[in-house]
Amino acid sequence: MSNLALPLTLNAGNGTSATITFAPTGSGNFSGSVTFAVTANQGNSTVVLPFSGEGVAPGTLSPNPSSLPFGSIQVGSNSSQSETVTNTGGSAVTISQATASGTGFSVSGVNLPVTLGASQSVTFNAIFAPSSAGAATGTLSIVSDDSSSPLSIPLSGTGVAPGALAANPTTLAFTSTQVGNSSSLSETLTNTGGSTITLSQASLTGAAFSISGLSLPLNLTANQSVTFTATFTPTSAGAASASLAVVSNASNSSLNIALSGTGTTAGQLAVSPTSLSFGNVAVGSSSSFGGTLTASGAPVTVSPASPSSSEFVLSGISLPATLAAGQSATFTVTFTPGASGAASASLSFSSNASNSPAVQTMTGTGTAPIQHVVDLSWTAAAGAVGYNVYRSTTSGSGYTMINASLDGTTAYTDSTVVSGQTYYYVATSVNASSEESGYSLPAQAVIPSP
């Protein structure tokens, strides 16, 4: 109470005034009174003036959420988040202004000024629309008659470059490919932007071209790649071209990749001679003839080959092999009959030539091996009761006795010789006392082949 000076005398009909101030120390109901002691003609008395009031908490603004992180937003796009401000105090608060600072941030959805009673709220939108790639920060400022005004709400977000699709290589140029064959090249698509893109379609023109290993739809995150295969299979000679159009939601929504290649005529493969006649060959012996493979028109790749009969063997050439146009390669075929009688076979050289396979035929006759013998004879020695015969393949040394028992005649037949071999023979005489003489002079025998 103030503005009242006591003691005070009031005449009849007069009055005075005083000021009563209520300053609550907390929220809730308060009451009190003031008692005046009065002296009058009638005597002493008291006058009581009661009073009451309610203490309420001051108005206070609280945000929900307390910050607004927008995350990554593609440049050219925008994102909106709701922000609610509530008066958590006991008295009304008037909001007069709401602004956003920071590049790319703005506010919408609220009509100001607005007064919020106790526990009342207002909701509006904060928007992030980045104009460039990179991190961005800002502040949402709420100005009011709240004692803590302004209320600041942090804003954050990151602008990311839009997804962009790049091809490596940018064109596909195939090497010259023979008609009927194929050649392949790898192609890689990469998202060079900062946001995920979706590949939805891949359209290819040109009947001689095809792609594999690309399954759509396909999502590519930033810097992610996918590699697939393009194949050129010409059906005719001459230049060919095509275009591969890849459709996506990238900033370059349609990416075109040019393909080109040249089909070439298939080469031809010739075998010479086309037939081999080995004639008569003794069983166990061998006979060989040479042959030649020649490519013409275009390179020819020859596959592994072998004769149709095991009595004929191919050698002297390593297959598979590629012969350039005009190039030749030699080979050898060997006939080794395993039995008497006529034999035949064919040798097919498969290749990518237009006249594949190139075939060579072979014939031969196995004959019984010739059994050679060496007939030996010598002059009788005085006092001899028998003779021994020795043989070596080296003149003057390495002699080995070949008769099983003492020979009582002056002749011996050696039927264990081998065709094509040269032998040297000596003989000794044995008397009645079993004494053996030295070697005779050597005799040479050359065995024919076969």
Task: Note whether 141 and 68 are same-domain residues.
Answer: yes
* DSSP string covering 219-239: EE-TT-EEEEEEEE--SSSEE
> Which of 107, 129, 160 represents a domain boundary (last residue)?
160
Task: Note whether 382 and 420 are same-domain residues.
Answer: yes
> Which of 133, 160, 187 represents a domain boundary (last residue)?
160
The reported pLDDT for the residue numbered 340 is 93
> Which of 367, 397, 415 represents a domain boundary (last residue)?
367
CA-nearest of 209, 321, 309 to 259 is 209
The reported pLDDT for the residue numbered 41 is 75
Task: Note whether 348 and 383 are same-domain residues.
Answer: no
The reported pLDDT for the residue numbered 407 is 94
Q: Using an 8 Å Cβ cutoff, are 314 and 328 in contact?
A: no
Give ∠ CA 413-419-420 in degrees, rounded to 5.
120
Query: Cα separation of 336 and 317, whole Å?
Result: 19
SS (H, E, C) 33-83: EEEEEEEECCEEEEEEEEEEEEECCCCCEEEECCCEEEEEEECCCCEEEEE
Q: Using an 8 Å Cβ cutoff, are 359 and 348 in contact?
A: yes
The reported pLDDT for the residue numbered 157 is 96
Task: Note whether 348 and 328 are same-domain residues.
Answer: yes
The reported pLDDT for the residue numbered 449 is 78
Is 345 strand, coil or helix? strand
Query: Cα separation of 256 and 239, whole Å?
Result: 20
Task: Note whether 111 and 98 are same-domain residues.
Answer: yes
Task: Note whether 156 and 169 are same-domain residues.
Answer: no
Residue 14 corresponds to which amino acid? N
The whole domain housing 38 covers 1-55
Q: What is the CATH number of the domain that holds 117?
A: 2.60.40.10
Digit-coded pLDDT (tens) for 19-37: 999 988 877 889 999 998 9
The reported pLDDT for the residue numbered 279 is 95
Is 287 strand, coil or helix? strand
Query: Cα separation of 52 and 69, whole Å?
Result: 48
Q: Which residues contact 245 (CB under 8 A, 6 or more apart)?
A: 201, 202, 203, 204, 254, 255, 256
Number of domains, the chain: 5
Q: Using an 8 Å Cβ cutoff, are 387 and 378 in contact?
A: yes
The reported pLDDT for the residue numbered 23 is 86
The reported pLDDT for the residue numbered 155 is 97
Task: Note whether 151 and 132 are same-domain residues.
Answer: yes
For every one of its 450 residues, what pLDDT tens digit does the chain have, with 9 covering 90 and above?
Answer: 898 888 988 888 999 999 999 988 877 889 999 998 988 877 788 889 999 988 777 789 999 999 999 999 988 889 999 999 999 988 899 999 999 999 999 999 989 999 999 999 999 999 999 999 899 999 999 999 988 889 999 999 999 888 999 999 999 999 988 887 899 999 999 999 888 999 999 999 989 999 999 999 999 999 999 999 999 999 988 999 999 999 999 988 889 999 999 998 888 999 999 999 999 998 888 999 999 999 998 889 999 999 999 999 999 999 999 999 999 999 999 999 999 999 999 999 999 888 999 999 999 999 987 889 999 999 999 999 999 999 999 999 999 999 999 999 999 999 999 888 999 999 999 999 999 999 999 999 999 877
Other Cβ atoms within 10 Å of 136 Cβ, number: 20
The reported pLDDT for the residue numbered 84 is 96
Task: Note whether 258 and 333 are same-domain residues.
Answer: no
The whole-model pTM stands at 0.48
CA-nearest of 86, 87, 91, 88 to 24 is 91
The reported pLDDT for the residue numbered 78 is 94
DSSP 174: P
Task: Note whether 65 and 122 are same-domain residues.
Answer: yes
Query: Cα separation of 210 and 367, whole Å?
Result: 59
Task: Note whether 248 and 284 are same-domain residues.
Answer: no
Task: Note whether 187 and 142 are same-domain residues.
Answer: no
